[in-house]
Structures are given as structure tokens and as C-alpha cells.
């Protein structure tokens, strides 16, 4: 047997270092009575095993719609996928049959939703809901599934799990419910987790606990993680790379520390400036002027131009492509290099 034969991955096994998930030029729109809202306009990103990608942006930027499209839970209609591919281990999920796509959910790709109280069924105990994953996907008995539910609750550090497995969602605090959502996502040991605003409405201390728990579980199981949020403070110590979205497009992508140190897009610059700082006590908090665009009437040229302090004529007519500005970095700004160097303005 040759060296090449020894090192070649077996058939159907993932190639080391290859992306788990690749979103390629994805387009999604919502067709309503009032018109067509272009929610996703050519989004592309990837995540590998053990890697955390944070997707940032204001409400309405397309973060959650992209995640719902990946999971196959987008309401269609009114949603319509008009272009692009979503590849998991190189296979386009959009071309899979419903049953094959359903098997991927939970077993290979799982999602943590932002509102745990709405995501959990109030009339069933948390143990029943956790156990359902094993009853449906693994054919376990109710007794064995309940035992697994207790193990999951222990895994996510819920105190007295054996005594609380029969409790209902309303009997848990917001932080504990979010841990149950994480346990539900972890149930079938998926390769990729999508966490959609997992710390929304939680206080700062509980936010840190939830993020630390996610990071710990990811390290232990070498999972890929897509973290969707609008809070740059949440991802600073967790993410490996960041994709910033605006009006359904990715406007900047970069390794996390590089992006925090030197943003290459005016929108990212504005988001970073909006973070409260202890050394600016007593001063007005910076806010990006204006509002996110109406997706039925996205401005011509760069969608951010009406709010951009650096906008020039070309910004109002030409859509800037996402182009490289430094190794491992991309920006969709006509003046990205000047923003990156701090020479614009």
C-alpha cells in the first residue's frame, strides 16, 4: 500500500480541514401583497469543524433568514429561494429530498432558537421534550429516553436534573431554559450547531455562563458553531471569524481580533463605536444615524450609503463587491482600504 493510499480519507468520510457547511451566493426573497422583499442578496460563508463563525448585524439584516434557510424551516411561501447553494460536506442540501433533509436536522445540524419560552412546548415537561429526540430518531423507549434526558440536563449543568426532569418550561428561569435548548440541540451529537441570538433577554452574568457552556461543549465535541447575534460584546472571546451582514449581504468578513482592531467597512466601524465603554462615562453613546433600509426598496449602489459618513457619488450608483483587502479579510466598500488604514474622513 502506498503512502497516498494510507493518507487518503475513506469514502464518505469528511476531508480534514474541509468546511462542514458552505453557503454559496444564496438569494432569498419574500413575495407579499405589498411587494417583494429581498431578504438575502448573495450571501456566502463557510464554517469548519471546531470553528466558530459569528454572524453580526442589526435586526432585519438577514441573519436569521439565512439560518432558517440552512435548516430548511423557512416558511415557503412567502419565502422563495431564488439562487445559490447550501452544501453540507460538499452536498447541496437544497437538492435533497424532504426525508433526507429532515434526517440532517437534529442528527447532523441543530439549531438553538433565541426565545426559549416560545420554542419549548408549555404543556409538556422538559424531560418529555428532550426525550422526544431519542424516541423519534433512535426509537428508544420512554424510560430510556427519560434517562437520556437526565444525562443531557447534567451535561448542560442544570442542578438536580433527576428531580427536575419532570418540571415544565415555566418552572425554569430564562437562563435554565436556554440551557435546556442547548441540551436539545446537543441531544444527537450534531456536527454543526446554529445558535440564533442564544443570549437574548438574559442578564450579563447569565449571558457569559451560556456562552462559556457553548464554547466548552464545542471544544469537547469539535463541533462547528454559527453564532447569530447583534451584540459584538458577546462574540469577542468566542468567535474565530466574523461575517457582518447589512441589507441581506455580507459587507465584511475577518478573523475576530483583526476586525475588532481595524474594521474595514464603515458599518462595522459604526457597530464597534456603538459598544458602551467604561472610559467614556458621562458621554453620549454613539449611534449609527438613520434606520436599516426597507428590503422592498433597497437603496441603489451601496445599501449603507444613506447612513454612511464617508459616502461619495460612486457609493450611490455602484454596488461594491465583497473583495479582499488583506489576508483572510474582505470588505464590500469602495473605500475599504482607506477605512482599514484610517485615512478616510
Residue with cell 436539545: 184
**DSSP string spanning 243-255?**
EEEETTEEEEEEE
**Phi–psi pair at 4, nearest 5 degrees:** -60, -40
Would the pLDDT of 31 be above 50?
yes
Would the pLDDT of 13 be above 60?
no
Peptide bond into 77 cis (omega under 30): yes
- First-to-last alpha carbon distance for the chain, in angstroms, is 63
Residue with cell 503512502: 3
pTM of the predicted model, to two decimals?
Answer: 0.87
Confidence grade of residue 16 (pLDDT, cut at 50, 70, 90) = low
Total number of residues shown for the chain:
345
Which tens digit of pLDDT belongs to each residue from 152-161? 999 888 999 9
Strands 249-255, 224-229: parallel, antiparallel or unpaired by DSSP? unpaired
In terms of Cβ atoms closer than 10 Å to its own Cβ (0-12, 13-18, 19+), residue 221 is: middle
CATH architecture of 18-341: 3-Layer(aba) Sandwich (3.40)
Give the chain's radius of gyration (CA, Å).
Answer: 22
Would the pLDDT of 82 be above 80?
yes
SS3 assignment, position 309 = coil
Q: What was the pLDDT predicted at 43? A: 95
Q: What was the pLDDT predicted at 12? A: 40
> In Å, how far are 39, 58, 236, 276 from 288, measured between CA atoms?
21, 11, 21, 13
Dihedral (CA of 163, 168, 174, 175) sign: positive
Per-range mean pLDDT, top range of 81-95, 168-182, 274-288: 81-95
- Asked if 201 contacts 209 with a C-beta cutoff of 8 angstroms, the reply is no
Confidence grade of residue 212 (pLDDT, cut at 50, 70, 90) = confident
Q: What was the pLDDT predicted at 204? A: 77
- Asked if 82 contacts 142 with a C-beta cutoff of 8 angstroms, the reply is no
Peptide bond into 16 cis (omega under 30): no
Boundaries of every domain in the chain: 18-341
**Phi–psi pair at 260, nearest 5 degrees:** -65, -35
Sheet holding 224-229, edge to edge: 109-112, 192-196, 224-229, 52-56, 241-246, 249-255, 329-331, 323-326
Grid coordinates of 265:
467597512
Selection from 332, 281, 336, 261 nearest residue 57 by Cα: 332
C-alpha 100/C-alpha 149 separation (Å) is: 25
Q: What was the pLDDT predicted at 18? A: 77
Confidence grade of residue 345 (pLDDT, cut at 50, 70, 90) = low
199: which residues sit within 8 A by CB, 6+ positions away? 178, 206, 207, 210, 211, 229, 231, 234
What mean pLDDT, rounded, does the chain reach?
A: 87
Would the pLDDT of 234 be above 90?
no
> In Å, how far are 28, 125, 245 from 249, measured between CA atoms?
11, 40, 5
**Phi–psi pair at 119, nearest 5 degrees:** -75, -30
- Asked if 195 contacts 214 with a C-beta cutoff of 8 angstroms, the reply is yes
Which tens digit of pLDDT belongs to each residue from 101-146? 888 887 899 998 877 778 889 999 999 999 988 888 888 899 999 9
Selection from 314, 322, 319 nearest residue 302 by Cα: 319
Amino acid at each position: 500500500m502506498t503512502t497516498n493510499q494510507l493518507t487518503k480519507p475513506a469514502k464518505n468520510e469528511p476531508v480534514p480541514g474541509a468546511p462542514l457547511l458552505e453557503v454559496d451566493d444564496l438569494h432569498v426573497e419574500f413575495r407579499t401583497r405589498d411587494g417583494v422583499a429581498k431578504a438575502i442578496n448573495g450571501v456566502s460563508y463557510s464554517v469548519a469543524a471546531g470553528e466558530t463563525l459569528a454572524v453580526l448585524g442589526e435586526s432585519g439584516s438577514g441573519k436569521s433568514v439565512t439560518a432558517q434557510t440552512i435548516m430548511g424551516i423557512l416558511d415557503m411561501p412567502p419565502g422563495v429561494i431564488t439562487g445559490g447553494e447550501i452544501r453540507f460536506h460538499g452536498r447541496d442540501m437544497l437538492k435533497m429530498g424532504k426525508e433526507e433533509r429532515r434526517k440532517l436536522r437534529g442528527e447532523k445540524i441543530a439549531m438553538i432558537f433565541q426565545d426559549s419560552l416560545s420554542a419549548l412546548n408549555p404543556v409538556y415537561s422538559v424531560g418529555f421534550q428532550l426525550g422526544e429526540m431519542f424516541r423519534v430518531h433512535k426509537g428508544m423507549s420512554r424510560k430510556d429516553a427519560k434517562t437520556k434526558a437526565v444525562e443531557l440536563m447534567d451535561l448542560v449543568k442544570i442542578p438536580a436534573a433527576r428531580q427536575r426532569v419532570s418540571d415544565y418550561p415555566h418552572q425554569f428561569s430564562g437562563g435554565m431554559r436556554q440551557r435546556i435548548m442547548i441540551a436539545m440541540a446537543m441531544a444527537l451529537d450534531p456536527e454543526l450547531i446554529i445558535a440564533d441570538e442564544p443570549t437574548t433577554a438574559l442578564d450579563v452574568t447569565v449571558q457569559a455562563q451560556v456562552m462559556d457552556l457553548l464554547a466548552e461543549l464545542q471544544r469537547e465535541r469539535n463541533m462547528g458553531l454559527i453564532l447569530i447575534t447583534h451584540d459584538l460584546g458577546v462574540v469577542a472571546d468566542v468567535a474565530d471569524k466574523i461575517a457582518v451582514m447589512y441589507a441581506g449581504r455580507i459587507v465584511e468578513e475577518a478573523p475576530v481580533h483583526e476586525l475588532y482592531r481595524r474594521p474595514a467597512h464603515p458599518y462595522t466601524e459604526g457597530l464597534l463605536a456603538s459598544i458602551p465603554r467604561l472610559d467614556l462615562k458621562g458621554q453620549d453613546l454613539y449611534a449609527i444615524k438613520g434606520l436599516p433600509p426597507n428590503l422592498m426598496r433597497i437603496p441603489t449602489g451601496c445599501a449603507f450609503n444613506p447612513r454612511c459618513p464617508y459616502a461619495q457619488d460612486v457609493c450611490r450608483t455602484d454596488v461594491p463587491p465583497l473583495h479582499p483587502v488583506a489576508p483572510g479579510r474582505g470588505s464590500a466598500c469602495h473605500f475599504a482600504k482607506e477605512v482599514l488604514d484610517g485615512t478616510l474622513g
